Amino acid sequence: MDVTYAVPHLNHGEVHRVQQVTDSAGGKGVNVARVLAGLGREVSCSGFLAGVMGEHLQDLLDADQVEQAWTLVAGETRRTVTIVDDDGVQGATLFNEPGPTVTARDWDRLTRAVLAGLDGAGVLVISGSTPPGTSDGDLPALVRAAVGRGIPVIVDTSGPALLAVAAEEPVVLKPNVDEVREATGIDDPIAAARDLIDRGAGAVLVSCGSQGVLLVTADGAWRARPPEVITGNATGAGDAAVAALAMAVADGARGADLAAHLPAVVALSAAAVLMPTAGAADHDAYDRMRPTIQTETIDAPR
């Protein structure tokens, strides 16, 4: 669950008067699904869900007409509290609660549920961190099973899990610039992305905040930037970028072909920043910005 507080300014140690509280279904994968549903795409959400917060999340997604196939576990679904200040100086401040602890049996049930829902699917998106109790092999095994069924898989995760899933040949990995550096130990994001490709990933899209995105494949590297400075709540920008990637992959784009879709990726990501909460995008801004974004080929020899 995502709880967003809007405040005039944010100063440590002070009492703040909250101007607006927004309660919405959240989590990176849920954000991707809600953006896609808002654009008229058919989506289904799977994952671990627990407790009263989990029931509330289901009710909110029902209202958004998002299909759901959750694996219920013990505990309580976590909340992320985001504080957005009007002056924009501090940016968004996030507080992530711990999620419920899962077991090997829980992972087995989730894997079976996900695989059962892949008939007719154009792409599987796996987003976010793994919950407590997850073993090192759980996430790679899920990716391997889906790829083995001929389903293209996009993964947006971080840390050692990013390296582990690269070996399972996902069609795209989507770290941000800090995550790809941390996972690989390589400072240059293009070189770091190539390390993930050498490990097995088909392509790597690196989100670079206000500087746009980098796409790296075995055939080259490309960059696309937003056409203007965008201010607002950036917490769902990366998830909107994944949603645009998912549309491209579901429509058949692979590898270097994804470069043609970078304007849509950047525009949808920027359009999400204009919304007060993650999981939504300003469709007018998306349509306006998309034709104005140029894709640059980067000359970056190996």
Q: Are 200 and 169 in contact (CB under 8 A)?
A: yes
pLDDT of 88 > 80? The answer is no
Q: What is the mean pLDDT of the chain?
A: 93
Residue 26: HSE in the Cβ half-sphere, 13 Å Cα cutoff:
22
Spatial distance between the Cα atoms of 258 and 252, rounded to a whole number of angstroms: 9
Report the first-to-last Cα separation within the chain, whole angstroms.
42
Residue 195: HSE in the Cβ half-sphere, 13 Å Cα cutoff:
18
CATH at residue 56: 3.40.1190.20
In terms of phi and psi (left: phi > 0; alpha: psi -120 to 50; beta: otherwise), the region of 27 is left
Predicted local confidence at residue 159, as pLDDT: 94
Range scoring the smallest mean pLDDT among 37-41, 214-218, 226-230: 226-230
pLDDT of 184 > 80? The answer is yes
Q: Are 209 and 177 in contact (CB under 8 A)?
A: yes
Spatial distance between the Cα atoms of 301 and 11, rounded to a whole number of angstroms: 45
In degrees rounded to 5, what are phi and psi of residue 212? 90, -140
Residues with Cβ within 8 Å of residue 102, at least 6 apart in sequence: 48, 73, 131, 132, 133, 134
Q: Are 168 and 142 in contact (CB under 8 A)?
A: no
Q: Are 177 and 206 in contact (CB under 8 A)?
A: yes
Q: Are 180 and 192 in contact (CB under 8 A)?
A: yes
pLDDT of 87 > 70? The answer is no
Catalytic residues: 239
Predicted local confidence at residue 227, as pLDDT: 83
Predicted local confidence at residue 175, as pLDDT: 97
The domain in which residue 64 lies consists of 2-11+18-298
pLDDT, tens digit (0-9, with 9 covering 90-100), for 108-128: 999 999 999 999 999 999 999
pLDDT of 90 > 80? The answer is no
pLDDT of 11 > 90? The answer is no
Name the burial class of residue 64, with classes exposed (0-12), middle (13-18) and buried (19+) by CB atoms within 10 angstroms of its CB. middle
CA 69 to each of CA 102, 157, 231: distance values in angstroms, whole numbers, following the listed order: 17, 21, 35
CB count in 10 Å sphere of residue 96: 11
Predicted local confidence at residue 272, as pLDDT: 95
pLDDT, tens digit (0-9, with 9 covering 90-100), for 263-294: 999 999 999 999 988 899 999 999 999 999 99
Quote the distance between the C-alpha of residue 216 and its chain's center: 18
Range scoring the smallest mean pLDDT among 61-70, 152-161, 192-201, 240-249: 61-70
Residue 83: HSE in the Cβ half-sphere, 13 Å Cα cutoff:
16
Angle between helices 262-273 and 237-250 (to 10 degrees): 150
Name the pTM for this structure. 0.91
Amino acid at the residue 74: A
What's the structural domain count of the chain? 1
Q: Are 212 and 226 in contact (CB under 8 A)?
A: yes
pLDDT of 89 > 90? The answer is no
Q: Partners of 155 in the beta sheet?
A: 126, 173
In terms of phi and psi (left: phi > 0; alpha: psi -120 to 50; beta: otherwise), the region of 133 is left
Predicted local confidence at residue 229, as pLDDT: 82
pLDDT, tens digit (0-9, with 9 covering 90-100), for 128-172: 999 999 999 999 999 999 999 999 999 999 999 999 999 999 999
Residue 28's SS3 state is helix
pLDDT of 255 > 80? The answer is yes
